[in-house]
Structure 1
Amino acid sequence: MTYEEALQQLAASPEDLRDTRRLPPWLRTNLPRQHQFARTLRTVEDLAVGTVCQAARCPNIFECFGCGLGTFLILGPRCSRHCRFCNVLGGSPAPVDPDEPRRVAEAAARLGLRHVVITSVTRDDLPDGGAGHFGRTMEAVRQACPQATVEVLVPDFLGDRAALEVVLAARPDVFNHNLETVPRLYPQVRPQADWQRSLQVLADAVARGLVVKTGMMVGLGEEDGEVLEVIEQVAEVGCPMMTIGQYLRPSRQHLPVARYVHPQRFAVYAAYGQSLGIRSMACAPLVRSSYHAGEGLAGLAHQEGD
């Protein structure tokens, strides 16, 4: 599919919802499976383990916790950056908890996870950006859950190649770093981040032979052509996995939603990425970076086996 063909298909898709005062029907979620939801919640609370599902007010928390899944949030609840789309708390980060890797590993073992996703707040205050803590957490999880695959979703480490190398050397089964939005919107959406720096993180991980993944949101004011250009750059880097989901405003203090993108447009994004060689394109309104992450890795492995 060419860029022009993708634009034509997007132009022929149903109109996006520009009146954002009400959620469209395709963004409504189901109530949780009560027993498993409560078990997952109790496990993370008993072990004082953070999840991005709770911190970021993820719309899929009912489904994922209801299936015994979750994404662990390490390095504390407070982020050193102030991205205007994110619900994670800002402010002065707490000291790193040396026992956290053990507790995360125990939570993963109690829940019987087959695919463990670990992310963090951004810790620009730490000399290594928290890279060593990522490594220790991966090691603890692998000891407690030798049957599980491990995925990490990391910050950019301020472009510190030595810090990034710590994570790459630990060889996660999936290495994820999100681009989040189109380059034009970085000053408004991610004022403390840098587009080229994030793209370089992905390129470095690809060069190390890892399975690399990235993701972005739509509905922040980008144009469809800009989304296609991001997909092109992800393909050029050699990244085999990408997620695209709808931005949802966590509170009135965050950036407003510019549009609710129609589900058919997500299908065009996915088809375009696949035509460029991105083998796993998870694109839908409620898709998030770690949504059904284990299934995404399994699907990629199945393709490689064909």
Structure 2
Amino acid sequence: MACEHASQIKRKPRWLSRRLPSAPEYEQVRTIISQGRLHTVCEEAKCPNRFECFSQRTATFLIMGSRCTRDCRFCNVAYGPQTAPDPEEPRRVAEAAMRMGLQYVVVTSVTRDDLPDGGAGIFAETIAQIRRRLPDTRIEILIPDFQGDRDALKTVLDAEPHVLNHNIETVPRLYERVRPQAVYERSLRLLERASSMAPSILTKSGIMLGLGESDAEVRETLADLRRVDCKFLTIGQYLQPSRRHLAVERFVRPEEFDAWREAALAMGFIDAASGPFVRSSYHAKDLYQASGA
């Protein structure tokens, strides 16, 4: 569902300006991704950190195609007709991770409400393929809500990733406007089930700021995440990908992000990454290492 009216993209403040890194590793990663016929959420979602991450020889793999069955109004991933999942994709992801020498692999997907298990089996196979080639590598997966399917979640948990991430994205009041095909309570329930079904797997979630939420709403959302035993948190600035997406209501200052990190730690999160450029998988390895696992 596109925005009713195209909106002007606001000029970014100075703290959202950054120099693009230049390194041969950037093109090397792009080549590996291209040769593997793979997608990354870094490129599909226009992540502002993609140049930095590629230059550090890391990327977040996007599986099950590049088109989503949902059309969230904040996300740049394409919406439209899906193709059947490629059964060889999990192998190619694992081989790309091996070529990149990754010690920490992050895998996410488009939402595939058209598949009976939402793609849970493909997540599990991707984890298995990575583990076969890189047995000492840590694996984080960022999953959709599987429409609340407990069996689909169990399939993923049985594959034993080290971290299971599912983003809450925004406060409940804004769900209808920001992600109308999602359900706030369903996402909370997924995180709660993951913690109870597989206590050894660390759970993680993230929220965007700048969409019109109040401080009180953010604080309550973080409290909700702690109530379902979410262990890690990311907080970042929403940036409008194009004129057809939701406009930025406010650019949050860096010192406010610092304060939210302190608030999150005080609430009991193991660690929290909070800043204008923070995204779900930004420096994910560093966040995981805070657990001491």
> Under a length normalisation based on structure 2, what TM-score does the superposition of the two structures give?
0.95
Single out whichever of 24-33 and 233-242 deviates more from structure 2. 24-33
For residues 235 and 18 of structure 2, what CA distance do their matches in structure 1 show? Answer: 18
- In the alignment, the residues of structure 2 paired with residue 252 and residue 34 of structure 1 have an alpha-carbon distance, to the nearest angstrom, of 31
Distance 1:88 1:20, change over 3 A: closer
Once the two structures are superposed, residues 33-63 of structure 1 have per-residue CA deviations (whole angstroms, 9 ceiling, x without a partner) of 3301010011100111110000000000010
CA distance in 1, matches of 2:82, 2:211: 27
2:253 pairs, out of 262, 265, 269, with 262
Paired residues in the alignment total 284
Cα deviation for residue 20 of structure 1 reads 7.0
Q: Which aligned segments of 4 or more residues in structure 1 are displaced greater than 2 angstroms? A: none
- The offset of 1:300, in angstroms, is 1.8
Matches of 2:245 and 2:10, distance apart in 1: 15
2:126 matches 1:137: yes
Structure 1 residue runs without a partner (length 5+) = 1-18
Tell me the SS of whatever aligns to 2:173.
Answer: helix
Query: 1:30 aligns to what?
Result: 19
Return the letter of the residue paired with 1:194. Answer: V
Q: Name the % identity.
A: 49
> Aligned equivalents of 1:299 and 1:20: distance in 2?
36
The answer to whether the 8 Å contact 1:212/1:241 transfers is yes
Q: Match for 2:106: what amino acid?
A: V
Residue 284, structure 1, aligned to residue 275, structure 2: yes
Residue 238 of structure 1 deviates from its aligned partner by 1.1
Check the 8 A contact 2:104/2:140 in 1, yes or no. yes
The TM-score normalised by the length of structure 1 is: 0.91
Provide the C-alpha distance between the structure 2 equivalents of 1:22 and 1:80, rounded to a whole number of angstroms.
31
Give deviations 1:238-266, integer Å, cap 9, x for gaps.
11100000000000010000000011111
| Alpha-carbon distance between aligned partners in 1 of 2:206 and 2:101, rounded to the nearest angstrom | 26
Which runs of no fewer than 5 residues in structure 2 stay unpaired?
1-7
Counterpart check, 1:241 vs 2:203: no
Give the counterpart of 1:187 among 176, 187, 195. 176
Per-residue CA distance 1:256-277 (angstroms, 9 max, x = gap): 0000001111111111111111
Contact 1:20–1:260 at 8 Å: present in 2 too? Answer: no
Map of 1:123 onto structure 2: 112
Indicate the residue corresponding to 2:285 in structure 1. 294
Compared CA separation, residues 186 and 109, structure 1 to 2 (3 A): same
Q: CA RMSD in A?
A: 1.1
